[in-house]
Structure 1
């Protein structure tokens, strides 16, 4: 079968885009590897109508709604290569199958790059977070630790003062000049310069001098990269942002390769489920419009 659109990635943005496309009665194939970015979290917050719900439950319910439409096909597989050109793309998957489509929409999500601190990765999404709007409220205005990763950590520390008392643990990740220190301290942010040895218990930071700082939760301004190299393989341009590397797109979600679009965390910043859904819905509409008016798509 030659599909109108192949959506690579079936998480929030990918499904939001797919909904627009199948409601336009287009033949859509979703290829999904089943790796939600927020799979480590037990509850999703800040998403209207789904606040506090398990991420897996949200996506399972959404998929059931999509599968009620007859023009949807879904393959649980990993897309590995894209070849061809607009109106005649071929996507090859890890199991060796090939699929043809007129348009490609990359909703591949991102992978978080965490600093190599013992005990950190195991607590990611449980007691170590990146988004205060997603997880700050549940800390009940307790003591919050910010583990520095770079300049964005200063902004994160200032922002989180609305959610509790804040300590910025510099951990040799950045240099704070006098002006920055004064500004942070004026907002009530405590600054800890001793390096971290490891994370213990739920969110306790053991320092190199053996002092233990206990926190209700920890935040990190993680850097992210696309969760697959398929965009690079297809020739799509990437760009550097304060939050990491993402696929470069224009206002219509079009990448640098005509006929290939991108949406969600892999193509925008900042990141949240709500923003991914909105961006995906818009991208889906733009992909549909490109099928009707291919000469009207913006070029990068």
Structure 2
């Protein structure tokens, strides 16, 4: 069967795009490896209509709604390769099966690269977070620690002062000039120069000098990268952003390869479930448009989005 669209990745943005396409009665194959980026967290916050709902419940309910449409095929698996051209793509999965599609949507998501600090990864999504809008309110205006990882950590520390008393751990990862220090101090941010030894307990930071500081939660500005190398291997241009590497897309979610689109965290920043769903819905409409008017399939030249 030659599907109208093959969606690689069945998380929030991929499902949102798929919904627009199946409602246009287009045949869609979703191939999903089942590795949602936010699987480490328990509940969704800041997502209109789903605030405080368990993340697994949101994803499962969305999939059930999609599967009510007869033009949807859902396949659990991992894509190994994409070959061909617009209207004649071949997608090969890890188990050796091949599927044909007219358009490809990459909604593969990203992987968070965490600082190598003992105890941090074990608390990721539980008491260590990246998005204040997603997790700040639940900390009850308690003490908040920001683990220095990149220049984005400075912005993160300033932003978080609306959610609690903030301590920024430089941890050898940041260069703070006098202007930056003054700005942080005006916002009430405490700057801690000592390096972190490990993270213990709920969100307790043990420093190399032996001090132990307790927090309601910790934040870290992770560096992100596509969760698999597929985009690069099929020739899609990538770009560097302040948050990491993403697939370069134009205003219509087209990649540099005609007929291949990308949406969600892997194609735009900043990141949240709400933004991924909105971007996915718009991308689904753009893909449908490209099927109706094939002359629009060429991506805009040198147009990217950070």
Q: TM (normalized to structure 1)? A: 0.99
Q: Helix, strand or coil for the counterpart of 1:150?
A: coil
Structure 2 CA distance, aligned partners of 1:232 and 1:287? 21
Aligned to 2:304: none
Structure 1 CA distance, aligned partners of 2:204 and 2:245? 30
Aligned to 1:273: 273
Structure 2 CA distance, aligned partners of 1:94 and 1:121? 28
Aligned to 1:133: 133
Aligned to 2:180: 180
Cα deviation, 1:39-98, whole Å, max 9, x if unaligned, reads 011111011111111111100000000000000000000011100000000111111111
- Structure 1 segment 227-266 matched on structure 2, within 5 A: 227-266=227-266
Aligned to 2:121: 121
Aligned to 1:299: 300
Structure 1 CA distance, aligned partners of 2:207 and 2:48? 39
Aligned to 1:194: 194
Cα deviation, 1:235-285, whole Å, max 9, x if unaligned, reads 000000000000000000000000000000000000000000000000000
Structure 2 CA distance, aligned partners of 1:250 and 1:238? 12
Q: Helix, strand or coil for the counterpart of 1:53?
A: coil
Deviation at 1:296, TM superposition (A): 1.9
Structure 2 CA distance, aligned partners of 1:285 and 1:273? 19
Aligned to 1:89: 89
Deviation at 1:116, TM superposition (A): 0.4
Unaligned runs of 5+ in 1: none
Q: Helix, strand or coil for the counterpart of 1:101?
A: strand
Q: Helix, strand or coil for the counterpart of 1:198?
A: strand
Aligned to 2:145: 145
RMSD: 0.6
Cα deviation, 1:108-156, whole Å, max 9, x if unaligned, reads 0000000100000000000000000000000000000000111111100
Cα deviation, 1:138-176, whole Å, max 9, x if unaligned, reads 000000000011111110000000000000000000111
Q: Helix, strand or coil for the counterpart of 1:38?
A: helix
Structure 1 CA distance, aligned partners of 2:130 and 2:29? 32
Alignment of 1:11 onto 2:4 = no
Q: Helix, strand or coil for the counterpart of 1:68?
A: coil
Structure 1 CA distance, aligned partners of 2:94 and 2:209? 48
Structure 1 CA distance, aligned partners of 2:80 and 2:159? 39
Structure 2 CA distance, aligned partners of 1:168 and 1:266? 28
Q: TM (normalized to structure 2)? A: 0.97
Unaligned runs of 5+ in 2: 302-306
Alignment of 1:79 onto 2:79 = yes
Aligned to 1:99: 99
Deviation at 1:233, TM superposition (A): 1.0
Structure 1 CA distance, aligned partners of 2:243 and 2:294? 32
Deviation at 1:299, TM superposition (A): 2.9
Alignment of 1:42 onto 2:42 = yes
Aligned to 1:21: 21
Give the paired residue count. Answer: 300
Structure 2 CA distance, aligned partners of 1:242 and 1:295? 34
